[in-house]
């Protein structure tokens, strides 16, 4: 089945739903047993719940994996993932990650004696040089947040395989509709379901998907033990969001391409970072490993005053954290999503007080451009 069809129809393996078109919400914590030693297949919702299971199966299909787990948030998914590692283990991570991830790594993981090195993971030789005897995993975001750097997933997965490392890819920015890291050699895919998958800025959620039975067994054990699973109602909201994932991604990308081109022509805008522009340094890699460019744009304006002007004058586009939903949202990474990241690291990356990040929604493109135009001009 094609992704469009999976998004709409899901896995449809719920047997007792009276033909319900919409997957029922099994709002129950526990399940009764027919007799001693027998189970309906469900015992307790932390272990599994039919609504969450349907959602997990959809994610597994969309990411070409064998198993997925639905967590209460993206950070809950990454936190659980970190339980695969032990004190003394070393992980190499992209140096331009969603801000919450280094906050976890530099505080919680470090406290647990897990060593993390950050590097631009598009630099494959640099990554190779960082690998040590205790290196256990690579943690990659591509495109990165907010600088939109691309890592060659096939090439980095090959390095991972050669060195026996777990290759983990946070695929939030492109969604499974545009990119499938497992098919390019990765071992675990992470999603913040809060973003494109839910798609409506109304539900938090997170996912881990793998195509390895061994990792699935280990992660399922951690998952049921830690207990940060997604509830039935929120699982249903995710399923409903996914129904329109394909058309949302297409429309958001179409709008983003037009906005990126428009921003390039604006004299208040000095740099535009969008992976769909042919002058993006890794444009060819993007084209070869993804089916689309997504709808995340970062851009640098001429001054901090312009940033203030834009944030105070956008009307349709909302000044808010988060991304991926149908509503266009503008973020000021330095003080919002990346507030806890070391300032020197940010500055070196280009995350300065002139950088804005735009998550393009599905609104009418002319309205969006008019909004940007008046905000940039301060009209």
Ligand X SMILES: *Cc1c(COP(=O)(O)O)cnc(C)c1O
In the complex, minimum distance from the CB of residue 156 to ligand X, in angstroms, rounded to a whole number: 17
Distance, CA of 192 to CA of 175 (rounded, Å): 9
Compute CA distances 237 → 22, 54, 182, 221, whole Å: 11, 12, 25, 25
Distance, CA of 306 to CA of 216 (rounded, Å): 48
Distance, CA of 8 to CA of 110 (rounded, Å): 42
- Owner of token pair 């022509």: 265
In the complex, minimum distance from the CB of residue 100 to ligand X, in angstroms, rounded to a whole number: 5
If binding means CB under 6 A, how many residues of this protein chain bind ligand X? 15
Q: Is residue 276 involved in binding ligand X (CB under 6 A)?
A: no
In the complex, minimum distance from the CB of residue 133 to ligand X, in angstroms, rounded to a whole number: 29
If the CB atoms of residues 166 and 189 are measured against ligand X, the closer one turns out to be: 189
Question: CB–CB of 229/204 below 8 Å?
Answer: no
Q: Is residue 234 involved in binding ligand X (CB under 6 A)?
A: no
Please, which of residues 308-327 interact with ligand X by CB under 6 A?
A: none
Q: Is residue 192 involved in binding ligand X (CB under 6 A)?
A: yes
Compute CA distances 13 → 6, 177, 210, whole Å: 12, 22, 20
If we measure between CA atoms, which residue out of 172, 166, 175, 206 comes closest to residue 69? 206
Q: Is residue 73 involved in binding ligand X (CB under 6 A)?
A: yes
Can you tell me which of 48, 145, 290, 306 binds ligand X, judged by CB under 6 A?
145
Active site residue 267: no
Q: Where are the beta strands (DSSP E) in 236-277?
A: 269-273
Q: Is residue 206 involved in binding ligand X (CB under 6 A)?
A: yes
If the CB atoms of residues 170 and 300 are measured against ligand X, the closer one turns out to be: 170
If the CB atoms of residues 192 and 201 are measured against ligand X, the closer one turns out to be: 192
In the complex, minimum distance from the CB of residue 4 to ligand X, in angstroms, rounded to a whole number: 24
Active site residue 136: no
131-98-177-1 Cα dihedral, nearest 10 degrees: 60
If the CB atoms of residues 98 and 293 are measured against ligand X, the closer one turns out to be: 98
In the complex, minimum distance from the CB of residue 14 to ligand X, in angstroms, rounded to a whole number: 26
> Do β-strands 188-192 and 206-210 pair in parallel, antiparallel, or remain unpaired?
antiparallel
Active site residue 44: no
Please, which of residues 155-184 interact with ligand X by CB under 6 A?
A: 170, 172-173
User: How many residues are listed for the chain in this entry?
Assistant: 379
Distance, CA of 176 to CA of 277 (rounded, Å): 21
17-20-23-27 Cα dihedral, nearest 10 degrees: -60
Distance, CA of 325 to CA of 303 (rounded, Å): 28
Backbone angles phi, psi at 320, to 5 degrees: -160, 155
Q: Is residue 207 involved in binding ligand X (CB under 6 A)?
A: no
- Closest-CB residue for ligand X? 74
If the CB atoms of residues 268 and 349 are measured against ligand X, the closer one turns out to be: 349
Active site residue 264: no
If the CB atoms of residues 203 and 306 are measured against ligand X, the closer one turns out to be: 203
Catalytic option among 42, 46, 220, 240: 46
Q: Is residue 75 involved in binding ligand X (CB under 6 A)?
A: yes
Catalytic option among 3, 67, 95, 98: 98
Q: Which residues are catalytic?
A: 46, 98, 170, 195
**Which residues are near ligand X by CB under 6 A?**
73-75, 98, 100, 141, 145, 170, 172-173, 192, 194-195, 204, 206
């Amino acid at each position: 089945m094609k992704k469009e069809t999976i998004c709409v129809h899901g896995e449809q393996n719920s047997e007792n739903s009276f033909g319900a078109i919409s997957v029922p919400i099994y709002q129950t914590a526990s399940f009764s047993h027919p007799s001693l030693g027998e189970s309906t297949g469900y015992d307790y919702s932390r272990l599994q719940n039919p609504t969450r299971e349907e959602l997990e199966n959809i994610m597994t299909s969309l990411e070409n994996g064998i198993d997925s787990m639905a967590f209460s948030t993206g950070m809950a998914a990454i936190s659980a993932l970190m339980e695969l590692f032990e004190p003394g283990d070393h992980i190499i991570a992209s140096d331009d990650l969603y801000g919450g991830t280094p906050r976890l790594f530099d505080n919680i993981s470090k406290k647990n004696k897990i060593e993390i090195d950050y590097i631009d993971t598009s630099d494959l030789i640099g990554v190779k040089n960082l690998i040590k005897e205790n290196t256990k995993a690579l943690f990659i975001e591509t495109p990165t947040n907010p600088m939109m750097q691309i890592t060659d997933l096939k090439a980095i997965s090959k390095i991972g395989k050669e060195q026996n490392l777990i290759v983990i890819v946070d695929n939030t920015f492109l969604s499974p509709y545009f990119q499938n890291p497992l098919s390019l050699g990765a071992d675990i895919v992470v999603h913040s379901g809060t973003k494109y998958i839910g798609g409506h800025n109304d539900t938090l959620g997170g996912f881990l998907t793998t195509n390895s039975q061994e990792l699935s067994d280990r992660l399922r054990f951690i998952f049921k033990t830690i207990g940060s699973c997604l509830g039935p109602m929120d699982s249903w909201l995710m399923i409903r969001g996914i129904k329109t994932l394909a058309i949302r991604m297409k429309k958001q990308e179409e709008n983003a391409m037009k906005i990126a081109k428009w921003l390039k022509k604006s004299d208040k805008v000095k740099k535009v970072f969008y992976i769909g522009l042919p002058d993006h340094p890794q444009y060819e890699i993007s084209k070869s490993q993804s089916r689309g460019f997504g709808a995340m744009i970062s851009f640098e304006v001429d001054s901090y005053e312009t940033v203030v002007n834009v944030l105070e004058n956008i009307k349709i586009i909302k000044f808010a954290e988060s991304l991926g939903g149908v509503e266009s949202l503008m973020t000021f990474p330095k003080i919002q999503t990346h507030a806890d990241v070391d300032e020197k690291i940010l500055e070196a990356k280009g995350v300065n007080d002139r950088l804005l990040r735009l998550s393009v929604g599905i609104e009418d493109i002319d309205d969006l451009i008019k909004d940007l135009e008046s905000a940039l001009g301060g009209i």
